[in-house]
Structure 1
Protein backbone atom coordinates (compact mmCIF):
# COMPACT_ATOMS: atom_id res chain seq x y z
CA UNK A 1 0.00 0.00 0.00
CA UNK A 2 2.87 2.35 0.68
CA UNK A 3 3.72 2.20 -2.99
CA UNK A 4 0.40 3.80 -3.94
CA UNK A 5 0.90 6.70 -1.56
CA UNK A 6 4.49 7.18 -2.66
CA UNK A 7 3.36 7.29 -6.31
CA UNK A 8 0.47 9.59 -5.47
CA UNK A 9 2.63 11.97 -3.53
CA UNK A 10 5.38 11.92 -6.15
CA UNK A 11 2.84 12.69 -8.87
CA UNK A 12 1.42 15.45 -6.75
CA UNK A 13 4.70 17.17 -6.01
CA UNK A 14 6.43 16.62 -9.34
CA UNK A 15 3.37 17.01 -11.50
CA UNK A 16 1.86 20.16 -10.03
CA UNK A 17 4.67 22.74 -9.89
CA UNK A 18 2.51 25.57 -11.24
CA UNK A 19 0.41 25.82 -8.09
CA UNK A 20 0.78 29.04 -6.15
CA UNK A 21 2.90 29.04 -3.01
CA UNK A 22 -0.07 29.01 -0.66
CA UNK A 23 -1.55 26.00 -2.41
CA UNK A 24 1.83 24.25 -2.34
CA UNK A 25 2.00 24.87 1.41
CA UNK A 26 -1.45 23.38 1.77
CA UNK A 27 -0.47 20.34 -0.32
CA UNK A 28 2.64 19.90 1.77
CA UNK A 29 0.47 19.77 4.88
CA UNK A 30 -1.83 17.28 3.14
CA UNK A 31 1.15 15.08 2.32
CA UNK A 32 2.35 15.14 5.92
CA UNK A 33 -1.09 14.24 7.26
CA UNK A 34 -1.48 11.38 4.78
CA UNK A 35 1.92 9.96 5.64
CA UNK A 36 1.15 10.21 9.35
CA UNK A 37 -2.16 8.35 8.93
CA UNK A 38 -0.78 5.59 6.70
CA UNK A 39 0.16 3.10 9.47
CA UNK A 40 -3.27 3.50 11.06
CA UNK A 41 -5.01 3.04 7.72
CA UNK A 42 -2.94 -0.06 6.94
CA UNK A 43 -3.90 -1.46 10.35
CA UNK A 44 -7.60 -0.73 9.74
CA UNK A 45 -7.38 -2.45 6.36
CA UNK A 46 -5.66 -5.48 7.88
CA UNK A 47 -8.48 -5.75 10.45
CA UNK A 48 -11.09 -5.54 7.68
CA UNK A 49 -12.50 -2.35 9.20
CA UNK A 50 -12.04 -0.25 6.06
CA UNK A 51 -11.79 -0.90 2.36
CA UNK A 52 -10.92 0.96 -0.81
CA UNK A 53 -13.90 1.86 -2.97
CA UNK A 54 -13.93 2.17 -6.75
CA UNK A 55 -13.72 5.97 -6.58
CA UNK A 56 -10.32 6.10 -4.86
CA UNK A 57 -11.64 6.69 -1.36
CA UNK A 58 -11.79 4.70 1.85
CA UNK A 59 -15.04 3.31 3.23
CA UNK A 60 -15.78 1.90 6.65
CA UNK A 61 -16.67 -1.78 6.23
CA UNK A 62 -16.81 -2.88 9.87
CA UNK A 63 -16.95 -0.05 12.39
CA UNK A 64 -16.69 -2.46 15.34
CA UNK A 65 -13.37 -3.82 14.05
CA UNK A 66 -12.01 -0.32 13.54
CA UNK A 67 -12.85 1.11 16.91
CA UNK A 68 -14.29 4.50 17.63
CA UNK A 69 -11.69 6.39 15.63
CA UNK A 70 -12.13 4.58 12.29
CA UNK A 71 -14.77 6.94 10.91
CA UNK A 72 -12.69 9.99 11.81
CA UNK A 73 -9.60 8.54 10.14
CA UNK A 74 -11.57 7.66 7.00
CA UNK A 75 -13.16 11.10 6.86
CA UNK A 76 -9.84 12.91 7.24
CA UNK A 77 -8.11 10.69 4.69
CA UNK A 78 -10.89 11.09 2.15
CA UNK A 79 -10.86 14.86 2.57
CA UNK A 80 -7.11 14.91 1.87
CA UNK A 81 -7.40 12.50 -1.05
CA UNK A 82 -10.04 14.80 -2.54
CA UNK A 83 -7.62 17.71 -2.29
CA UNK A 84 -4.87 15.70 -3.98
CA UNK A 85 -7.20 14.41 -6.71
CA UNK A 86 -8.41 17.95 -7.43
CA UNK A 87 -4.84 19.23 -7.74
CA UNK A 88 -3.88 16.40 -10.10
CA UNK A 89 -7.08 16.92 -12.12
CA UNK A 90 -6.40 20.63 -12.48
CA UNK A 91 -2.87 19.96 -13.68
CA UNK A 92 -4.02 17.33 -16.18
CA UNK A 93 -7.18 19.16 -17.29
CA UNK A 94 -9.47 16.36 -16.23
CA UNK A 95 -11.89 15.78 -13.36
CA UNK A 96 -11.13 14.73 -9.81
CA UNK A 97 -13.61 11.87 -10.34
CA UNK A 98 -11.52 10.50 -13.21
CA UNK A 99 -8.36 10.85 -11.15
CA UNK A 100 -10.02 9.04 -8.24
CA UNK A 101 -11.17 6.15 -10.43
CA UNK A 102 -7.68 5.81 -11.91
CA UNK A 103 -6.18 5.83 -8.42
CA UNK A 104 -8.71 3.21 -7.29
CA UNK A 105 -7.44 0.86 -9.99
CA UNK A 106 -3.83 1.41 -8.87
CA UNK A 107 -4.74 0.98 -5.23
CA UNK A 108 -6.46 -2.31 -6.02
CA UNK A 109 -3.48 -3.57 -8.01
CA UNK A 110 -1.04 -2.68 -5.22
CA UNK A 111 -3.14 -3.71 -2.21
CA UNK A 112 -2.08 -6.49 0.11
CA UNK A 113 -3.97 -9.76 0.27
CA UNK A 114 -7.01 -9.60 2.52
CA UNK A 115 -7.83 -5.93 1.86
CA UNK A 116 -11.44 -5.07 1.02
CA UNK A 117 -11.75 -3.59 -2.49
CA UNK A 118 -14.70 -2.51 -4.58
CA UNK A 119 -15.03 -3.56 -8.20
CA UNK A 120 -16.19 -1.05 -10.80
CA UNK A 121 -19.68 -2.59 -10.66
CA UNK A 122 -19.88 -1.81 -6.92
CA UNK A 123 -19.29 -5.36 -5.66
CA UNK A 124 -16.98 -5.67 -2.65
CA UNK A 125 -14.39 -8.45 -2.42
CA UNK A 126 -11.30 -9.34 -0.42
CA UNK A 127 -8.12 -9.43 -2.44
Structure 2
Protein backbone atom coordinates (compact mmCIF):
# COMPACT_ATOMS: atom_id res chain seq x y z
CA UNK A 1 0.00 0.00 0.00
CA UNK A 2 1.33 3.44 -0.88
CA UNK A 3 2.06 5.97 1.86
CA UNK A 4 -0.72 8.27 0.60
CA UNK A 5 -3.26 5.46 0.87
CA UNK A 6 -2.13 4.67 4.42
CA UNK A 7 -2.33 8.32 5.38
CA UNK A 8 -5.81 8.58 3.89
CA UNK A 9 -6.93 5.51 5.85
CA UNK A 10 -5.52 6.91 9.09
CA UNK A 11 -7.26 10.24 8.49
CA UNK A 12 -10.53 8.49 7.62
CA UNK A 13 -10.33 6.34 10.76
CA UNK A 14 -9.68 9.44 12.88
CA UNK A 15 -12.63 11.25 11.35
CA UNK A 16 -14.88 8.25 11.96
CA UNK A 17 -13.84 8.06 15.61
CA UNK A 18 -14.61 11.73 16.10
CA UNK A 19 -17.98 11.45 14.37
CA UNK A 20 -19.24 8.68 16.68
CA UNK A 21 -19.80 11.26 19.40
CA UNK A 22 -21.94 13.26 16.97
CA UNK A 23 -24.12 10.18 16.38
CA UNK A 24 -24.68 9.60 20.08
CA UNK A 25 -27.98 10.84 21.42
CA UNK A 26 -27.85 13.71 23.87
CA UNK A 27 -30.08 14.07 26.92
CA UNK A 28 -31.77 17.07 25.31
CA UNK A 29 -32.47 15.03 22.17
CA UNK A 30 -33.93 12.20 24.24
CA UNK A 31 -36.13 14.57 26.25
CA UNK A 32 -37.26 16.50 23.16
CA UNK A 33 -38.21 13.23 21.46
CA UNK A 34 -40.22 12.13 24.51
CA UNK A 35 -38.01 9.12 25.16
CA UNK A 36 -36.76 10.15 28.60
CA UNK A 37 -38.29 11.86 31.60
CA UNK A 38 -37.52 12.88 35.15
CA UNK A 39 -38.84 10.32 37.59
CA UNK A 40 -40.00 10.69 41.17
CA UNK A 41 -36.82 9.21 42.63
CA UNK A 42 -34.39 11.86 41.38
CA UNK A 43 -33.23 9.97 38.34
CA UNK A 44 -34.04 9.79 34.65
CA UNK A 45 -36.51 7.20 33.48
CA UNK A 46 -37.20 5.59 30.14
CA UNK A 47 -40.56 6.77 28.76
CA UNK A 48 -40.26 4.85 25.49
CA UNK A 49 -38.12 1.75 25.06
CA UNK A 50 -35.10 2.94 23.08
CA UNK A 51 -31.58 1.53 23.42
CA UNK A 52 -29.83 4.84 22.70
CA UNK A 53 -31.95 6.68 25.25
CA UNK A 54 -31.35 3.86 27.76
CA UNK A 55 -27.60 4.27 27.34
CA UNK A 56 -27.94 8.02 27.95
CA UNK A 57 -29.97 7.60 31.13
CA UNK A 58 -27.73 4.83 32.47
CA UNK A 59 -24.68 7.06 32.14
CA UNK A 60 -26.35 10.13 33.63
CA UNK A 61 -28.05 8.24 36.45
CA UNK A 62 -24.71 6.73 37.46
CA UNK A 63 -23.24 10.24 37.70
CA UNK A 64 -26.28 11.54 39.55
CA UNK A 65 -26.09 8.76 42.11
CA UNK A 66 -22.41 9.45 42.74
CA UNK A 67 -23.21 13.12 43.26
CA UNK A 68 -26.17 12.32 45.52
CA UNK A 69 -23.96 10.07 47.65
CA UNK A 70 -21.40 12.87 48.03
CA UNK A 71 -24.12 15.34 49.02
CA UNK A 72 -25.65 12.89 51.47
CA UNK A 73 -22.33 12.27 53.19
CA UNK A 74 -21.40 15.98 53.23
CA UNK A 75 -24.77 17.02 54.71
CA UNK A 76 -25.31 14.03 57.00
CA UNK A 77 -28.41 12.93 55.09
CA UNK A 78 -29.53 9.60 53.75
CA UNK A 79 -29.32 8.83 50.06
CA UNK A 80 -33.15 8.62 49.98
CA UNK A 81 -33.43 12.15 51.39
CA UNK A 82 -31.07 13.56 48.76
CA UNK A 83 -32.87 11.65 45.99
CA UNK A 84 -36.23 13.06 47.14
CA UNK A 85 -34.88 16.61 47.19
CA UNK A 86 -33.28 16.12 43.77
CA UNK A 87 -36.52 14.69 42.35
CA UNK A 88 -38.51 17.71 43.49
CA UNK A 89 -35.93 20.08 42.04
CA UNK A 90 -35.52 18.34 38.68
CA UNK A 91 -39.27 17.95 38.20
CA UNK A 92 -39.76 21.62 39.02
CA UNK A 93 -37.08 22.61 36.48
CA UNK A 94 -38.38 20.32 33.72
CA UNK A 95 -39.44 22.22 30.62
CA UNK A 96 -43.04 22.29 29.49
CA UNK A 97 -43.64 19.50 27.00
CA UNK A 98 -41.08 17.16 28.58
CA UNK A 99 -42.09 14.09 30.59
CA UNK A 100 -42.21 13.76 34.36
CA UNK A 101 -43.37 10.86 36.46
CA UNK A 102 -46.54 11.48 38.47
CA UNK A 103 -47.95 8.67 40.62
CA UNK A 104 -46.03 6.10 38.58
CA UNK A 105 -47.23 7.41 35.20
CA UNK A 106 -45.41 9.46 32.59
CA UNK A 107 -47.13 12.77 31.83
CA UNK A 108 -46.11 15.81 29.83
CA UNK A 109 -45.44 18.81 31.97
Runs of 5+ consecutive residues of structure 2 not aligned to the other structure: 1-24
Q: Are positions 1:112 and 2:81 aligned together?
A: no
- Aligned residue pairs total 85
Correspondence for 2:66: 83
1:37-116 → structure 2 map (5 Å cutoff): 40-64=26-50, 68-116=51-99
**Structure 1 moving runs of 4+ over 3 Å:** none
Runs of 5+ consecutive residues of structure 1 not aligned to the other structure: 1-38
Q: Deviations over 1:62-98 (max 9, x none)?
A: 134xxx3211111111111000000000011111121
Q: Matched residue of 1:105: which SS? A: helix
Cα distance 1:60–1:108, how it changes in 2: closer, same or farther (>3 A)?
same
Q: Could you tell me how far apart the structure 2 residues matched to 1:55 and 1:70 are?
A: 18
Correspondence for 2:104: 122
Contact 2:47/2:106 (8 A) holds in 1: no
User: What is the RMSD of the two structures over their aligned residues, measured on CA atoms?
Assistant: 1.5
TM-score (norm: length of structure 1):
0.62
Q: Could you tell me how far apart the structure 2 residues matched to 1:124 and 1:69 are?
A: 19
TM-score (norm: length of structure 2):
0.71
Correspondence for 2:19: none
Q: Could you tell me how far apart the structure 2 residues matched to 1:70 and 1:124 are?
A: 16
